[in-house]
Amino acid sequence: MYYTERDKILMQVQKPTRYTGGELNACMKDKDKVSVRFGFCFPDLYEIAMSHLGIKILYHTLNERADTYCERVFAPWTDMEQLMRERNMKLFALESGDEVGSFDFLGFTLQYELSYSNIVNMLDLAEVPVYAADRTKEHPFVCAGGPCAYNAEPIADFIDFFMLGEGEESIHEVIDTYIKWKNSGASREEFLHMAAKIPGIYVPSFYDVSYNDDGTVASIKPNTEDAPETVRKRIVTDFSGVFAPEKIIVPFGEVVHDRVILEVFRGCIRGCRFCQAGYVYRPVRERKADRLLYLADKLLSSSGYDEISLSSLSTSDYTQLPELTSSLLDITEQKKINLSLPSLRIDNFSLELMQRVQKVRKSGITFAPEAGTQRLRDVINKNITEENIIESTRLLFSGGYTNVKLYFMVGLPTETNEDVSAIAALAEKVLSVYFEIPKEERAKNINITVSTSNFVPKPFTAFQWEKQATRAEMIEKQDILKASIKSKRIRYNWHDDKTSYLEGVFARGDRRLSAVIKRAVELGCKFDGWNEHFNFELWMQAFDECGIDPDFYTARRRDYSEILPWDHIDVGVTKSFFIKESEKAHRAETTANCREKCAGCGAAAFKTGVCYE
């Protein structure tokens, strides 16, 4: 039915290939011969979702099972949604075209807080009750995972259970448990009790949260024996040996990252104090170079892609980088395939490497100093100096590169107006390095772009207790920087203060925000990460109608003694370590990276990775 119905309307929407399925390497199964149907839901557009590494991994590992059919489910763009609602079409999966309300699982990936409205809207479009408490045995179990799941309290009322940490192994344990439950004929709640016993599974309805008179959390307590006091994330201990797809779906239309992606390692040794990913993916675990070369060959052969990219939080820290890149370049040069190397720290080795990679065209280079002064870089533990930045750009300009992007944050803890102005001064110094190179030796048309994002304090970082800059303060800092940039050769881009504010609310929010999200969707909020659809006034109306002050979550510094909404979640890095890092930040003291000296963060408890090198 839905293939026919979709065929009638696809000519009326902007990009029909978002909804057709049937791409190269998509998995097609006989749905009557499987026990479990799993909808992998990405709460954004097809072209965003199809660039995501997690979906490539979990989609294919689930479909390797004979008893499970995993299909993709994405948020329809507004033109498609309007036509679907006019024709009473429910949310469907790409592979079969079936309504997802009849599936066993709907699994959402939580990549960013501004996707929460799309989750509610997708459930509504599927005619699945938005609140978990309203679902019956006739409805799918709604689960979620991803970075935002570490504090998913703002959407806790919507989700039956969360999978914390890396899902390659735990998702199979969930499926095995579900099949046992399904065959037993037990109640819906009984499955949740069974799932709660799986390490890394968090069932929010099994925890009662109480609040103090001032609005802070008074307690978070399990209400059943099957729920642990704290839920610890799952990690893959043997990263080199764990499942990795040897083929990936090749989209019909253009997507954001349209290439083969090789994940070289997980985690980060650097310890930047603002970076949630750097902490929650600890400890660093590497994939062996020979395994990566094998995957590269398989993925290139099965996809036909002409570009391959290395993926990690800091590719330069991969211990086998020279061997890997040398072998990859032998392949890519022979087959005329582009090799992309993001997240490199620029030194003589990596410059030589980039020049070999980009023989024909010099693409732009991105640096992320994050702060304009050394004091503030020490506060955030960036562990790079101005001299590092200047010498790196000197190498680049000498090598013929002329497009440089410099990324910074404004609103960092302890930041002053002088720190903000110093961003412009640093950009001017980078520009002056270009002109120090003899005219006949440098490439033409220098372009320097300064981009700033607004600092948002995140859970499980050293800055999780900090106050976030107000919208007025964000705008003031942006204005100071605009006025400080004198050269016309330096372009300045900045992030919107409204979206940063809302992100800050939900990043450290609690369960009381579920009502706000549902009300905002009823008012028309969706695709909040897209400027053309983000409606700040509607969000403020939703907060007002629900009697919740969003400033409570952003405009105050928390005491170390305060119970945080995510204190029952364990990422392996201890709270005492974060407190120590917070105190060091306020003294502008740095911490060495993991390979220089162990800081005792707690991740060694996983007994793997860099902690045991």
Are 225 and 110 part of one and the same domain?
yes
* CATH classification of the domain holding 412: 3.80.30.20
Q: In whole angstroms, give the CA distance from residue 185 to residue 193.
A: 14
Tell me whether residue 344 is in a domain. Answer: yes
Are 576 and 516 part of one and the same domain?
yes
Q: In sequence order, what DSSP letters do the residues of 267-282 get, joined into one string?
A: S-SS--TT-HHHHHTP
Region of residue 501 (left: phi > 0; alpha: psi -120 to 50; beta: else): alpha
Query: Which amino acid is present at 63?
Result: N
Cβ burial 504-526 (10 Å sphere, 16+ → b, else e): bbbbbbbbbbbbbbbbbbeeebb
Q: In whole angstroms, give the CA distance from residue 325 to residue 341.
A: 9
Are 370 and 510 part of one and the same domain?
yes
Are 354 and 210 part of one and the same domain?
no
Tell me whether residue 237 is in a domain. Answer: no
Of 232, 252, 277, at which residue does a domain stop? 232
Are 202 and 280 part of one and the same domain?
no
Q: In whole angstroms, give the CA distance from residue 143 to residue 191.
A: 13
How much is the pLDDT for 1?
42
Q: Please, which residues bridge with residue 107 across strands?
A: 40, 143
Are 170 and 299 part of one and the same domain?
no
pLDDT means over runs of 10, the chain (613 residues): 68 92 96 97 96 96 98 97 96 96 98 97 98 97 98 97 98 98 97 98 98 98 98 97 96 87 96 97 97 96 92 93 92 86 69 67 77 98 93 85 92 98 97 91 89 98 98 98 96 97 98 98 97 97 98 98 98 98 98 96 97 92
Query: Which amino acid is present at 179?
Result: I
Tell me whether residue 611 is in a domain. Answer: no
Are 396 and 482 part of one and the same domain?
yes
Structural domain containing residue 56: 2-232
Tell me whether residue 610 is in a domain. Answer: no
Q: In whole angstroms, give the CA distance from residue 211 to residue 535.
A: 30
Are 500 and 386 part of one and the same domain?
yes
Are 213 and 264 part of one and the same domain?
no
Tell me whether residue 252 is in a domain. Answer: no
Are 429 and 567 part of one and the same domain?
yes
Tell me whether residue 255 is in a domain. Answer: no
Number of structural domains the chain divides into:
2
Q: In whole angstroms, give the CA distance from residue 200 to residue 163.
A: 6
CA torsion through residues 256, 259, 265, 269, sign: negative
Token reading at 610: 């860099």
Q: Please, which residues bridge with residue 55 across strands?
A: none
Are 214 and 103 part of one and the same domain?
yes
Tell me whether residue 515 is in a domain. Answer: yes
Tell me whether residue 248 is in a domain. Answer: no
Q: In whole angstroms, give the CA distance from residue 85 to residue 81.
A: 6
How much is the pLDDT for 354?
73
How much is the pLDDT for 254?
83
* CATH classification of the domain holding 209: 3.40.50.280
SS3 at position 196: helix
Contact 245, 606 (CB under 8 A): no
Are 389 and 491 part of one and the same domain?
yes
Of 232, 251, 285, at which residue does a domain stop? 232
